[in-house]
Amino acid sequence: MTIQAPAKVNLALRVLGKRADGFHAIETLMAPVTLADEIDIAVSKGTGIVLRCSDPAVPADASNLAWRAAEAFAQRTGRTFRTTITLRKNIPPGAGLGGGSSDAAAVLVALNRLLDTRLTDDALEALAATLGSDIPFFIRNRPAICRGRGEILEAAGPLPEANLLLVKPPFPVSTAWAYKAWAACGKPDSPAPGPFLGNIALFNDLELPVFEKFLLLPILKSWLADQPEVSAAMMSGSGSTVFAILCGDADPLAERIRIRFGAHLWIRACTLAGAAL
């Protein structure tokens, strides 16, 4: 089976504080986008996992969430099988776009279909939550308000149509570090909501600590927001991707980004998935 594993953006992200279990309580509006990894997955007789990945920066061993998802699925269902997974990566790691989490969810969904185990979406989300906070969101791949540590989902309904330009500098940002840095700021007050997408106020509490360390990101965000093709710009998740909501053509903007910031930036155009038709 070949399955798509889409990226996501956070249109709103509020950090509420640290929980007793060490995670941070959040409330975030996440939306899938049309940028996606592509995963080939096959099952056969035997045991074990074979994982190949097109991006040498992504580990192809038991530390990869896709590998861990296959292991967790076998344990949950009691089935014995050999899994072969090939990841064709289009979503960069450490980007705040959820690529690893989406890959893991796609593996769970694909194995459920291939093995005809008939786990419900609720059951798959519960299994996904044991692997990572963002992974349950990608089981259904629809806009959702995510609470708790991210695993409690409420369908958000269709979003306004929007074309996006994703821009990632050549460095990742660790999600664990970003939340730790937020806490070190003394639980700062959330900034006032910035611009809007329809009636959705766009904001990200993690911008404050991340921007203090990675000084290119606030410069990039501010520059993007000033461009005539852009109605709003914001960092996604813990970064390092900054996305622009477009009201004009992407290509001229992408060219000016390369001239202003260098050809080493990763730039991709996409649209919100699950938008209103």
- 167 with 37, same domain? no
Domain finish residue from 134, 155, 176: 155
Structure tokens at 31: 């939306």
Handedness of CA 130, 134, 138, 140 (dihedral sign): positive
Q: Is 134 a catalytic residue?
A: yes
**CATH number of the structural domain spanning residue 247:** 3.30.70.890
Q: What are phi and psi of 5, to 5 degrees?
A: -125, 95
Write down the pLDDT at residue 191: 64
The catalytically annotated residue of 37, 103, 134, 205 is: 134
Structure tokens at 196: 């809007």
Bridge partners for 153 per DSSP: 146
- 150 with 167, same domain? no
Does 204 map to a domain?
A: yes
- 22 with 139, same domain? yes
Does 140 map to a domain?
A: yes
Nearest CA among 126, 115, 116 for reference residue 82:
115
Write down the pLDDT at residue 188: 65
Cα 26 to Cα 60, 76, 150, 179: the distances in Å are 30, 28, 7, 10
Domain finish residue from 101, 120, 155: 155
Query: How long is the chain?
Result: 277
Q: How many C-beta neighbours within 10 Å does residue 258 have?
A: 13
Burial of residue 264 (CB within 10 Å: 0-12, 13-18, 19+) is: exposed
CB distance 44 to 81 below 8 Å: yes
pLDDT in tens, the chain (277 residues): 999 999 999 999 999 888 888 788 999 999 999 999 999 999 999 999 999 999 999 999 999 999 999 999 999 999 999 999 999 999 999 999 999 999 999 999 999 999 999 999 999 999 999 999 999 999 999 999 999 989 999 999 889 999 999 999 999 999 999 999 998 887 666 666 679 998 899 999 999 999 999 999 999 999 999 999 999 999 999 999 999 999 999 999 999 999 999 999 999 999 998 654 3
Domain finish residue from 122, 155, 188: 155
- 99 with 212, same domain? no
Does 277 map to a domain?
A: no
- 91 with 171, same domain? no
Write down the pLDDT at residue 277: 36
Does 100 map to a domain?
A: yes
Does 245 map to a domain?
A: yes
- 91 with 181, same domain? no
CB distance 115 to 81 below 8 Å: yes
Distance CA 204, CA 188 (A): 12
- 115 with 240, same domain? no
- 72 with 123, same domain? yes
Count of structural domains within the chain:
2
Q: Is 8 a catalytic residue?
A: yes
CB distance 190 to 14 below 8 Å: yes
The identity of residue 74, as a single letter, is A
Give the chain's radius of gyration (CA, Å): 19
Query: Hey, is 223 helix, strand or coil?
Result: helix
Range of the domain at 233: 163-271
Does 276 map to a domain?
A: no
- 60 with 143, same domain? yes
Segment holding 100, helix H or strand E: helix 99-114
